[in-house]
């Protein structure tokens, strides 16, 4: 279990907690203030991420997710305080839109050295009632540190990026990363995805902190993804079912 996560320090009170051994290569981010800490995403749920956060801070931790997909809420069950955007509240409290069988397939579809104590048969999707349900612009006050939620739908109805104006950090979730950006399944919307990229393009960003794959990405990735979506729009390709479009270090699957 202790070898499943990799911890990398972003700065003195910000940490990336990553699952590089799985093909999803998820990144979660622990942000420590003076009063509380915020954990942005909780990963796959293959191993207990709380053991990592407990080793990094004694502060009470609130878990928030960029969106309610299986690879981002897997560790919700380990935390007492959880939060979600209002558009995906029902996905947590009532019914996740994908079957457990499909999630287990995605979890195990590529070779992986899972921890010895992990059993896919015992894997379950989190279900519960979050104590914070927020909307666009909601601010998390950690004590001498403030993090704002920016509603960026497209990859999912309630997808959010999180932004720290004082540090110019953008925690971009599944909106911005190097890899295949997904807007092809029923709960996605390619046009909204494009509008969300345009929305965050207006921010002053010094560092992009993605949810998957390569941790260090250049800030110009935001503008390049925006230009790619603009090109697809001009070609009348922002319609689901049109396939995968390759732009070098990222792809857009529509």
Beta bridge partners of 244: 253
Confidence check: pLDDT of 95 > 50: yes
Alpha helix (H) residue ranges in 81-133: 89-93, 100-108
Give 120's DSSP letter.
G
The arrangement of strands across the sheet holding 37-40 comes to 6-11, 14-19, 26-32, 37-40, 61-64, 81-85, 132-134
pLDDT single digits (tens) 20-53? 999 999 999 999 999 999 999 999 999 999 999 9
- pLDDT for the residue 1: 45
Contact residues for 248 (Cβ-Cβ < 8 A; gap 6+): none
Give 192's DSSP letter.
H
**Can you tell me the distance from the alpha carbon of 41 to that of 156, in angstroms, rounded to the nearest whole number?**
15
Tokens of 184: 């092809």
Interval 159-188 mean pLDDT? 97
State the pTM of this model. Answer: 0.97
């Amino acid at each position: 279990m202790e070898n499943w996560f990799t911890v990398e320090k972003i700065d003195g009170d910000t940490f990336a907690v990553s699952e590089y051994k799985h093909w999803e290569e998820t990144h979660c981010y622990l942000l420590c203030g003076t009063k509380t800490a915020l954990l942005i995403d909780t990963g796959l749920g293959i191993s207990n991420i709380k053991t990592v956060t407990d080793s990094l801070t004694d502060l009470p931790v609130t878990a928030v997710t960029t969106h309610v997909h299986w690879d981002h809420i897997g560790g919700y069950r380990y935390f007492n305080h959880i939060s979600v955007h209002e558009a995906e509240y029902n996905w947590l409290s009532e019914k996740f839109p994908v079957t457990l069988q499909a999630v287990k397939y995605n979890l195990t579809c590529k070779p992986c050295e899972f921890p010895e104590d992990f059993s896919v048969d015992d894997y379950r999707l989190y279900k519960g009632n979050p104590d914070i349900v927020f909307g666009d612009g909601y601010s998390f006050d950690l004590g001498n540190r403030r993090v704002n939620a920016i509603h960026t739908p497209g990859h999912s109805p309630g997808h959010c990026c999180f932004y720290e104006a004082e540090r110019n950090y953008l925690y971009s979730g599944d909106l911005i990363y190097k890899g295949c950006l997904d807007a092809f399944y029923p709960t996605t919307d390619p046009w909204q995805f494009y509008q969300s990229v345009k929305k965050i393009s207006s921010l002053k960003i010094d560092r992009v902190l993605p949810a998957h794959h390569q941790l260090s990405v250049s800030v110009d990735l935001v503008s390049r993804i925006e230009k790619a979506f603009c090109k697809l729009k001009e070609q009348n390709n922002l319609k689901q079912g049109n396939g995968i479009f390759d732009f070098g270090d990222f792809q857009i699957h529509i």
